[in-house]
Every structure is written in structure tokens, then in C-alpha cells.
Amino acid sequence: MSREERKVILASSLGTVFEWYDFYLYGSLAAFIAAKFFTVPGADGQPIFDETTRNLFALLAFAAGFLVRPFGALVFGRLGDLVGRKYTFLITIVIMGASTFIVGILPTAEQIGIAAPIILIVLRCLQGLALGGEYGGAATYVAEHSPHGRRGFYTSFIQITATGGLFLSLIVILSTQALTGAEGFREWGWRVPFLVSIFLLAISVWIRTQMEESPAFKKMKAEGTHSKAPLTEAFGQWKNAKVALLALFGLVAGQAVVWYTGQFYALFFLGSVLKVDPYTTNILIAWALLLGSGGFVFFGWLSDKVGRKPIILGGCLLAALTYFPLFKLMSAEANPALHAAHQNISVVVRADPDNCSFQFNPTGTARFTNSCDIAKSALARLSVNYHVEDAPAGTAATVQVANSTISSTDANFAQALSAAITAAGYPAASNPTVVKLAHPFDIFREQSGVLVLILAVLVIYVTMVYGPIAAALVELFPTRIRYTSMSLPYHIGNGWFGGLLPATSFAMIAQTGDVYYGLWYPVVIALVTVVIGLFFVPETKDRDIFAEDMAEKPSRKPDPLRAQV
């Protein structure tokens, strides 16, 4: 690897780490932000904003985080194919970094009223748009600087940035919490990680201003063969749109759900289902990321030898086949008493099936008020395994725990249900069998050590599907529309298929009463990707992307027959 190639990879990867760091902060600190901007109590102790307004803010914040990303891919992808890779993803990092820093100094709703959440939502939308344009630019830029036969290895450094950003955000948050204390962090310490981003932004901008434009784009621009309408050419022509659809369903959708399961659903499962405290959960995930992240580079390098498809689809298949046993083992290790209760204690919900909703609630704004929904959601929040039996039409839902039957219409239903499951043998959330780390290095015990290894295996699956994906996407599309074409399926897959995973999985758990049932969501999508990818997506590792671009150019040589005439 030459000095110039190392510089290209460092500039692209480091900037992308900072972008992901900025993006993850909002998700990690969402509870603190909501308390300061959405649910601030007034002088009478009641929230400043009514429930409808709070729900609207929550919806917009969610949309900005996930649903806006594909629009950023379109906006900045088009710009990148028109004016160049370097300047486009220089713009994206400035937008992302500035938006994040402003969150750190933004007055709360208590100080400036409704202007505070409105400004916050605008900043969040700008973050989503910027992230939508960042990945495609960084991946395309590095790939177009990479020598033939090493593209998977070079672009794998881009792939490690998402995990690196998550890891960096966790470290900064945990360090700030340790320095400020719980009360100080809740009052003002949550701002510190946002403010730190200004230093990361300065470093990123300085590095990226030293970069040269992609040689492939410069050559294409000089010859006048660049696309005049990248969006129309990429998605308005079936030959290109078809490739984008195959990339989405045959590569990215499976990659997205494996990635989100290994890094985010595992965190959700430990904290919300197994009742592990947030500090321990974050430390366990951080160690797993540290142990497994080298796989990004390894599998990127290996994809140059054996191909992109075998590794990406192999990772999807392995994940689909092993998720259930791995998560059950995680349950048995993280909270043995709760795991035993799941196996041994029978809980039955009897309800009119027409009274039961599918509780899909990604924004947290929906309200499920039917008696069946009340019973199911209460049991799901308590991490209770149950099964449902049909009751006559119009019957209010009841929950039978051992010999006790509680009606969901009782005024003190929640308290009665909690008392009944505890009496039947379900442990309290703070029971002594739950894993709990005393400090970051308290992992050299059987319980915590096994959990770190399980989580590291999940991270290795992430590295298998994610390490080679940039090279595979870059190689599927010609230079003239590459930035646009690869960005959209990537962000639809990761923003929508992946981003909706926790909410969908929780709804599936509440629907069935099985705490593991939500795993069917990533398992099914991963298997669909294996089938579509295996039969319809071409292998691309041996493609010479520059030669193929030359082949697409109109010939400028004179026609001999025309010359004779």
C-alpha cells in the first residue's frame, strides 16, 4: 500500500468514523434529549407540550434518523456523480459535524419553548441527510483509488467505521458519565459528547481538504463522459434500476438485519428483555466490538481471494442458522433465574382475537388500549413468556399465572400482574443471578466472559456481511452513476430494513408471547437475501471497473466504411 493510498483510506475512514459517532450520539442519549426538549415539565409539574405534540416530535426524530437517509443518498449521490466525490463528502461531514455541535449548545424547551424541539428536529434531519450522502462517497472514493484485486481489502477500512463510531460514542459517553456523575450527566453532562464533535470535525475537514479527486472521476470528467442526469440514468433505466433492486434484496437487506441484530438488537435484548443494567450492557458490547472488529478487514481481504458473495451470503446463512441457539445461550448466561422462569412457568393470556393488535410502534407514538393489547404489552415489558388462547367475542382479556387470574380491566392490573408473576417464580429485575460488571475489566469471570464471546460471535457475523459489501456495491455500477446507484439501496436496506428491526421484533414478541420470536425477522430476511443473492446477483471481485467504464464509452474512432464513402 503506497503512502497516497494510505492517506486516501485514512481520510475517508476517519471522517466516516466521526460521522457515525455523531449519528449514534442521538440514539444513545435519546432519553436525556427527550427529557430536555420534548417532555419538559412546566411550573405546574405538567409537560410543557401536550401528548399530540410530543408524539409528533418523536415521529419526526425517528424519521430523521432512519427514513431520511435514503433521501440524503439521492441528494448527495447525484451531487457526487455530477461535481465529484471529494467535494460532496466534504460537504456531508461539515453538515453532520456542525449539526451535532449545535445540539450540544442548543437551549432547552424550558428556556426557549417550542423553538427548541423544532430546531432539534431540523438538526436531526440534516444529520440523516448528511449520513445518507457520506457512505457512498467514502466507499466510492476509496474503491476508485484501489488497485485491481485489492478493492475488498481497501474498502474494508470504510466498513469498520460504523462500528468504530459506535465504539467511540460509547467510550465518550461512559467517560463523561464517570466524570460528571449521574446527576451531573442528567443535567448538563449529556451535552459534552456533542460538544466534543467540534474537535473531530476540525480534524476531519483538515484531512479531507488535503485529498485529491478520484482519478476515475477526473478522467471521466475530462473526457466529458460523466452523467448529466444521474438519478434518471440510475433509476429511470431498467437495466440499471434492476441492478439496484438486486443489490438491495440480494445483498444489502440481509447485511442490514445481521448488522443491526449483532450490534443493536443484542444491546436491546440484553437491556430490555434480560434486564441487564445499561452500564454492564454497554461494557459487554464494547468488549465484543473490540474483539470482533478486526473481522471487517480480514473478510474484506478474503473477499478479494474467494469473492464477495460467498462471504456476505455465508454470513447471512450462518446468522440465520445460529441466532436462536446463541440468543438462548445469552439468556441462560445473562439472567439464569429469568431463563429458568421462561422454561418452567406457564402464563396464559385469554382474549378475543379481534381485540388483539400487532403492536408495531417504531416511533413510540401509537397507543394500544384494547384489553388484549394492555395484557400483552405488560407481559412483554416484564419479559414474561406466555401463550394466547382464544376467548369468546367481547370477552375482556385475562392473564392466568399459575393459580391466579388477573383481568386486564382491573384498576390495579399492572401491580396485580407484577405481584402474580413474582409469586409464581419470576425473579425481580435486580435478582442476584443477573450479570453485573463492577468495572470495565470485570470480564474474566465465567458469566461475563461467555457473554462477551457470544456477543463477539455476533459481531463476527456483522464483519462477514459488512466487510465486503462496499466493494460489492461499487463493482455493480459504472463510474458515471456509481455514487447515486450504490447509495440508495445501501441506505434503504440499512435505514429501513435494519432501522425498523427493534420495533418489529418487539411487536412480534408481544404478538406471540415468545421472547425469542422477534429473531424470526432477521432470520427470514437473511435467508431471502441468501436465495436472491445466490441465484441472481453476479460475482464481481474480478471486474475491472475502469475497463468496464471504457467499454461503455461511445467509440471515437472513425468508421472505416464511412471514411471510404
Q: In this structure, are residues 458 and 287 in contact, taking their beta carbons and an 8 Å threshold?
A: no
pLDDT at 394: 82
Q: Is the pLDDT of residue 105 over 80?
A: yes
What are the pLDDT digits (tens) for 182-229?
889 888 999 999 998 888 888 888 887 877 777 767 777 776 666 677
Measure the CA angle with vertex 436, ends 432 and 440; round to 5°: 160
Cell of 247: 443489490
What are the pLDDT digits (tens) for 276-288?
988 899 889 889 9
Tell me the mean pLDDT in the region 498-512. Answer: 82
- Reported confidence tier of residue 55, pLDDT bands at 50, 70, 90: low
Structure-model confidence comparison of residues 84 and 372, the more confident one: 372
Q: Is the pLDDT of residue 62 over 70?
A: no
pLDDT at 536: 93
Q: Return the C-alpha torsion angle 494, 89, 246, 502, nearest 10.
A: 0
Q: Is the pLDDT of residue 545 over 50?
A: yes
340-424 maps to CATH 3.40.30: yes
Provide the residue ranges of all domains of the chain, joining segments of one domain with +.
1-226, 237-335+434-565, 340-424
What are the pLDDT digits (tens) for 479-504?
778 878 888 888 888 877 887 787 78
What b/e readout covers 363-400, taking b as 16+ CB neighbours within 10 angstroms?
eeeeebebbbbbbbbbbbebbbbbebeebeeeebbbbb
pLDDT at 531: 96
In angstroms, the CA 430 to CA 505 distance is: 24
Output DSSP code: residue 435: -
In angstroms, the CA 211 to CA 87 distance is: 10
| pTM, full prediction | 0.84
Phi-psi label, residue 214: left if phi above 0, alpha if psi -120 to 50, beta otherwise: beta
What are the pLDDT digits (tens) for 69-96?
888 888 888 887 877 777 887 888 888 8
Q: Is the pLDDT of residue 12 over 80?
A: no
Q: In this structure, are residues 141 and 214 in contact, taking their beta carbons and an 8 Å threshold?
A: yes
What are the pLDDT digits (tens) for 302-351?
999 999 999 999 999 999 999 999 999 999 999 999 999 998 888 998 88
Alpha carbon of residue 334 to chain centroid? 23
237-335+434-565: CATH class? mainly alpha
- How far from 289 is each of 148, 266, 283, CA to CA, in Å? 30, 12, 10
What are the pLDDT digits (tens) for 155-187?
888 888 877 888 888 888 888 988 988 889 888
What are the pLDDT digits (tens) for 438-477?
888 888 899 999 999 999 999 999 999 999 998 899 888 8
In angstroms, the CA 87 to CA 79 distance is: 9
pLDDT at 54: 63
What are the pLDDT digits (tens) for 113-123?
888 888 988 88
> What percent of the chain is modeled with pLDDT above 90?
22
pLDDT at 562: 35
180-184: long-range pairs with CB below 8 Å, 24+: none
- Reported confidence tier of residue 253, pLDDT bands at 50, 70, 90: very high
- Residues whose CB is less than 8 angstroms from the CB of residue 103 and which lie 6 or more positions away in sequence, other chains included: 25, 26, 33, 120, 123, 191, 194
Q: In this structure, are residues 299 and 468 in contact, taking their beta carbons and an 8 Å threshold?
A: yes
Q: In this structure, are residues 208 and 15 in contact, taking their beta carbons and an 8 Å threshold?
A: yes
What are the pLDDT digits (tens) for 132-152?
887 777 888 888 888 888 888
What are the pLDDT digits (tens) for 376-431?
888 888 888 888 888 888 888 888 888 888 888 888 888 888 888 888 888 887 78
pLDDT at 557: 44
Q: Is the pLDDT of residue 362 over 80?
A: no
pLDDT at 226: 67
| 340-424 has the same fold as 1-226 | no
Q: What is the residue-averaged pLDDT of the chain?
A: 83
pLDDT at 199: 87
Q: Is the pLDDT of residue 58 over 80?
A: no
Q: Is the pLDDT of residue 559 over 50?
A: no
The one-letter code for the residue type at 499 is G
- Reported confidence tier of residue 546, pLDDT bands at 50, 70, 90: low
Tell me the mean pLDDT in the region 354-361. Answer: 77
Write down the CATH superfamily of domain 1-226: MFS general substrate transporter like domains (1.20.1250.20)
